[in-house]
Amino acid sequence: MLRFPFFSVILLLLGLSLAAQESLLPPGTVWTDQNGLHVNAHGGNVIHVGDTYYWYGESRSRVGGPMPGVSLYTSKDMLHWHDCGIVLSTVADTACPIQRGCVIERPKVVRCPHTDNYVMLFHLELKGKGYAAAMMGFADSPSPEGPFTFRRALRPTAGKWPMDFKRKDRKLARGHRPEDYKDWWTPSWEKAVREGMYVARDLKGGQMSRDQTIFVDDDGKAYQISSSEENLTLHINELTSDYMGFTGRYVRVAPGEMNEAPTLLKHNGTYWLITSGCTGWAPNEARMYSAKSIWGPWTRHPSPCRGPKAKTTFDGQGNYIFRQGQRFIFMADRWQPKKLSESPHIWLPITFDAEGVPVIEWKD
């Protein structure tokens, strides 16, 4: 008779500790879905529609070999994630830019308020070409659940100069030829980069576009921010009102500073760009820029990260800033290049200091 209450208490304590575990997703650990598998959605983003969170990301092969495409996980509480499968699949058709063997990175999905369509933009590298293609792709779906239909892949803003390039700037840019600069990182090469040598080189075929994100402003206008010009310079590209193309209006940010992993938030009228340096899959120190207008001028700030491991962005690389009301979550990947599917996720709150500058601190 006396044993029963004793074991009940033990069971109760066990139950409480399990419940406590389930109420946490510690950053940098394995985050399991309904099947007990790590959430295989990397470099992506989260949107909130109705009572559901939709998390899209790179689905990396768990067994090696070509990537399946873009995955979707859903949740009602941001804690219990349900694997909904692949919503944009790589295909067998060898004439299609997203044929199996291609690389799809940093997919982002947003709802277009003008069309009520869900639009996906992603970085695309063609099969067998390494990272040379530097393209981006468009896909869409009438529902956040997908599936998404692939529409096209291209390099942005073909034939267009940056908005702030006057006649004399165009002439200067055209005056440099990459073949005359065999060595990178010399003062004359740096000057040529700043003056738009690679913009001029890629003018006809479109600008390179690798790491990328989408930002939707308060007025419903959307922008793609991408690593362009050999990853040396960021471009902010305005999207058309249906978010399925480019208007051709764009500016360059931080020419020659080598930024990847762009993420963007707006707080109290100021735009904050949080990026990384370019060190492949290895982590590096985050960078930050601010501007009062999306078109700049952009000012550089120290990294927003504070505390231990701030110098390596907590061993991660940002992929998106999820916003709900006045709360912002910095989403990052702790890349495991030998097994990308298992790369842990790091989600941390972004707070603002007394001057309104974003701060990211580690939270267990």
For ligand DGJ, the closer CB: 30 or 282: 282
Q: Which of residues 101-120 bind ligand DGJ (CB under 6 A)?
A: 105-106
280 binds ligand DGJ (CB under 6 A): yes
Closest distance between ligand DGJ and the C-beta of residue 67, in Å? Answer: 12
What is the DSSP code string of 157-193?
A: TTT---TT--HHHHHHHHT--GGG--SSSSHHHHHHH
For ligand DGJ, the closer CB: 89 or 231: 231
Distance CA 73, CA 155 (A): 29
- Contact in structure between 45 and 320 (CB atoms under 8 Å): yes
Closest distance between ligand DGJ and the C-beta of residue 170, in Å? Answer: 30
What is the DSSP code string of 138-164?
A: EEEESSTT-PPEEEEEE-TTTT---TT
195 binds ligand DGJ (CB under 6 A): no
- Tell me the site size for ligand DGJ, rule CB under 6 A: 9
Q: Which residue, 208, 226, 223, 209, is CA-closest to 119?
A: 223
3-state secondary structure of 306: strand
345 binds ligand DGJ (CB under 6 A): no
Distance CA 220, CA 300 (A): 26
281 binds ligand DGJ (CB under 6 A): yes
287 binds ligand DGJ (CB under 6 A): no
Contacts of 288 (CB under 8 A, 6+ apart): 272, 273, 274, 275, 300, 301, 302, 303, 304, 358
Answer for which of 83, 140, 229, 260 binds ligand DGJ (CB under 6 A) is: 260
Closest distance between ligand DGJ and the C-beta of residue 27, in Å? Answer: 18
Answer for which of 135, 192, 261, 340 binds ligand DGJ (CB under 6 A) is: 261
For ligand DGJ, the closer CB: 124 or 222: 124
Contact positions vs ligand DGJ (CB under 6 A): 43, 105-106, 211, 260-261, 280-281, 317
